[in-house]
Structure 1
């Protein structure tokens, strides 16, 4: 059987069927979120007073049913995504519009879900509330205003400065004002923003993929169609899609030799999440020839730095937040998670210092700053690399260094790394399968960790049940579902070379 014949066999399920399967899976996830998603407790919330939704959360049978629905929905959506893979093997097998329609159907029901996999959206609203009260989220935590806990925010941000840029904070302020403090309206408006971010990702992923010589449909399948991406960005109402869209557009404009547009796009991305400022030197490398002199590098870096500074100054002046995000960006150690490697080291050494009578906070701060300097040294080394034939890949490695050496690593940060590595070069089929398995594993971990279980239920019992059930369902999908197995065992990867070998034989 030839490669083309195998691929036709794998494409047995129609696009219409794949669309409705993903839609049904998302409906199951949405209904499940009503019982185990993050529930608004604000006194202004009409849902908090609704008996319909409370029934899902107060009875053990309702919670268990929602856990089962969520687990089944996540696994079914993953199956739909995997089974779609043969369709994007070549750019001629599916149009951009057809793939966009598929992803829209997979994600549309999530617009009506409670926040899942994260409750950061409530922190967005809390920081918008602070700004509306003339308090700087860069100088104080959200606990500076009374009633923050009832707003649904994670206590992690109670005393920590905001990690977000000025543009997003002002947007959160506008949305808080427009919602009049009603959480459902605020979440709905922020979800529209998140969906626009996903749309921007879809457009600029295709644009950048073409610049990189990649199949744009495959890139969008791998990055935007990933269930972890959709459930995090739309279901979880995250702002990361806006950031990724901004950076991808900046890189694409750089390949078009448009430094003004490129630096403006990057400034907007930085104004959402400042961490992506590290892409600036690599945008400069894209604008250069393949073998530039050191003088040429420094000249172009000076140019893009000045342009970026102009844009960031304008954004800072318009928002009246100026550059408050710079010190806040380096104080993330205050919100370190112990299970991040650097966070674990800092936490352990600070505890030891405390036991010995030392200053625990100072020790933790020193550890975090040392690793931050190490990460910046890696970025500098990559920017000065001799081989600059693929600046986007250098950006991916730089982002990996900064993320993995940070004191806090959120699971969705891995989506950034996947996105940059997937867009930077044509990955092998083995790497693609690793991406599928890693996405599924992270999905299980975040699902269990972010279950919203009311205090009258035994949380560890419910979470153990959810974890075991979801793992078993994913194992069943990858080992016993015949269609999924055929795709995962299929002759994928760089198809052109496979077809060439087949013709020669």
Structure 2
């Protein structure tokens, strides 16, 4: 794929090649979906040979691999930025058209959503019982691992899933409406990106391209109809409200409601709230100002969570449901991969350490420390900015940049250190870092992992991690070790200065 120049205009030929190569890739992915995607009656294949021997197996795999390569390559080739913001929106929309016409791709989670909505509308508590025990008539369409697992999503999404089931009149109608919700979430995010990027000083053409043209958005958020699309759209909307009018009580309450809705869709959005509190402050950053402005924001969040929990009639059961989200074990989660490798090493000496649960707990403790460090760094940076005499424009851009960058890094740390990682999770930090990263060179460090994550699934929802457990765990552990060594060396170098 052609590559645009980092600091110059994108060549028209390069842009045209990228646009139509990506479109060809999206068409091939849609073809793979119809021939072997996550259709309701498709079998749950447990090995690559079974997928290969399935009807149209070679064609499905060929279309999927080539289509993914074209789509990822086209996105990567313009990582420095599209020719214009309008061009970025039009191209991302063009790529979505074939995927909108495809069946669910890359995951069977949308069937879980439909069954959870059915369970709620028929009087069952989706936070206490799995969809099989609730008697959902579409249980066979759900991946076996999730049939007996309570819902790990917030009350807002359970309400939306229930509404989709009631209005859809059946499985197909419910899936279509859930995809409509996902598209609405992506559109909401798209509307917020220019405002957030402009507040920070990042070119909107680059932010829009990175956040919207990423294959994770088309394949997983739209075609896969993941609820992350709704949560991400609400999150960006809430942050945009804060960035536009900080310090105003009505605005802070509205932003709190939007952020509360995002948390009530996908709970890990909660890590953004401390950084949103920083964006809420108007004037000098003092503890008093933080408590004053963040108090209004927190009031909106808490009220929203309370109202939606009561509206669903399920109380706080959704908090307990989060504990079941870690039942899947795949090497794509760095803590899980490290636990696998420890178990492999223990097996060589005749021992069974069962290290995965322990490493996951350690990772969560490390995450808590990292989140505190990231927030404290953002707080001190903002206080320093307020104490130094600067041009107003520079200070106005620095405030949202520090808050949004901190929120993006917090989401990235949460995604990487969580017990489970699914490719579409990466869309959350990608969107925030795309609007908060000034340096195009620094953008590569979070763009590259998203490109890799885009290649981890097959059209029927099979995760390649299922077929590469041992080698994947070893490679991931090697990356973890390399990152730890690099971080230690950087820390020692800074202390030596």
Say yes or no: TM over 0.5.
Answer: yes
- Does the 8 Å contact 2:29/2:63 carry over to 1? yes
Q: Mapping of 1:351-390 within 5 angstroms?
A: 368-369=360-361, 371-385=363-377, 386-388=380-382, 389=399, 390=402
CA shift for structure 1 position 286: 1.0
Tell me if the contact between 1:77 and 1:227 (Cα under 8 Å) persists in the aligned partners.
Answer: yes
| 1:304 alignment partner in structure 2 | 297
In structure 2, the partner of 1:403 is: 415
1:23 corresponding residue in structure 2: 23
Matches within 5 A, 1:279-358: 279-289=272-282, 292-337=285-330, 339-344=332-337
- Describe the superposition over 1:152-186 as per-residue Cα deviations: whole angstroms up to 9, x where unpaired: 2122223333221111111111212233333x322
Give the aligned partner of residue 450 of structure 1: 461
Cα distance change of structure 1 residues 291 and 384 upon mapping to structure 2, 3 Å threshold: farther
Question: Is the alpha carbon distance of 1:148 and 1:212 closer, same or farther for their aligned partners in structure 2, counting shifts above 3 Å?
Answer: farther
Match of residue 94 from structure 1? 84
Equivalent pair of 2:456/2:463 in contact (CA under 8 Å): no
Residues 1:333 and 1:270: Cα distance change in structure 2 (over 3 Å): same
* 2:415–2:421 contact (8 Å) kept in structure 1: yes
- After TM superposition, the structure 1 stretch with the greater mean CA deviation from structure 2, 310-319 or 205-214, is 310-319
Helix, strand or coil at the partner of 1:237: coil
**What's the secondary structure of 1:64's corresponding residue?**
helix
Q: Residues 47-446 of structure 1: matches in 2 within 5 Å?
A: 62-84=56-78, 88=82, 93-96=83-86, 98-146=87-135, 150-182=139-171, 184-255=172-243, 256-257=245-246, 258-289=251-282, 292-337=285-330, 339-344=332-337, 368-369=360-361, 371-385=363-377, 386-388=380-382, 389=399, 390-429=402-441, 431-446=442-457
Shift of 1:383: 2.8
Q: CA deviation at 1:101?
A: 2.1
1:263 deviation in Å?
0.6
1:34: how far off? 1.5
Matched residues in 1 for 2:434 and 2:113: separation?
29
Three-state SS of the structure 2 residue aligned to 1:31 is helix
TM-aligned CA deviation for residue 347 of structure 1? 7.4
Q: Unpaired segments of 5 or more residues in structure 1?
A: 43-47, 49-56, 454-458, 464-505
Q: 1:349 & 1:140 partners in 2: Cα distance?
A: 33
Q: What's the offset of the Cα at 1:373?
A: 4.3
Q: What is the CA-CA distance between 1:107 and the residue it aligns to?
A: 0.5
C-alpha contact (below 8 Å) 1:275/1:329 kept by paired residues: no
The Cα of 1:37 is off from its aligned counterpart by: 0.9
TM-score (norm 2): 0.75
- Residue deviations 1:46-98 (CA, integer Å, cap 9, x gap): xx9xxxxxxxx99757221122122222222334434555763xxxx5243x4
Query: 1:202 Cα shift?
Result: 0.8
- Give yes or no for contact 2:36–2:459 (8 Å, CA) kept in 1: no
Preserved contact between residue 7 and residue 86 of structure 1 (Cα < 8 Å): no
Structure 1 residue 294, shift from structure 2 partner? 2.9
User: Any idea what SS the aligned residue of 1:426 has?
Assistant: coil
- Report 1:9-48 matches (<5 A): 10-12=11-13, 20-41=20-41
Distance of aligned partners of 1:338 and 1:76 in 2 relative to their CA distance in 1, 3 Å threshold: closer
CA distance in 2, matches of 1:198, 1:408: 23
Aligned length: 430
Instruction: Measure, in 2, the Cα distance between the counterparts of 1:151 and 1:378.
Output: 41
Instruction: Tell me, yes or no, if the aligned pair for 1:20 and 1:105 is still in contact at 8 Å.
Output: no
Structure 1 stretch 137-146 or stretch 247-256: which is displaced more? Answer: 137-146
Question: How far has the Cα of 1:393 moved from its partner?
Answer: 1.4
Change (3 A) 1:144 1:260: same
Cα distance between partner residues in 2 of 1:419 and 1:434: 14
> Residue 498 of structure 1 aligns with which residue?
none
* CA shift for structure 1 position 327: 2.4
Q: Secondary structure at the match of 1:30?
A: helix
For residues 339 and 148 of structure 2, the distance between their equivalents in structure 1, rounded to whole angstroms, comes to: 18
Q: Provide the aligned C-alpha RMSD in A.
A: 3.7
Q: Which deviates more, 281-290 or 342-351? A: 342-351
TM-score for both structures, normalised by structure 1: 0.74
**What is the CA–CA distance in structure 1 between the aligned matches of 2:305 and 2:241, rounded to whole Å?**
18
2-structure distance, mates of 1:314, 1:291: 33
Relative to structure 1, the CA distance from residue 10 to residue 63 in structure 2 (aligned partners, 3 Å threshold; closer, same or farther) is: same
**8 Å contact from structure 2 (residues 186, 230) kept in 1:** yes
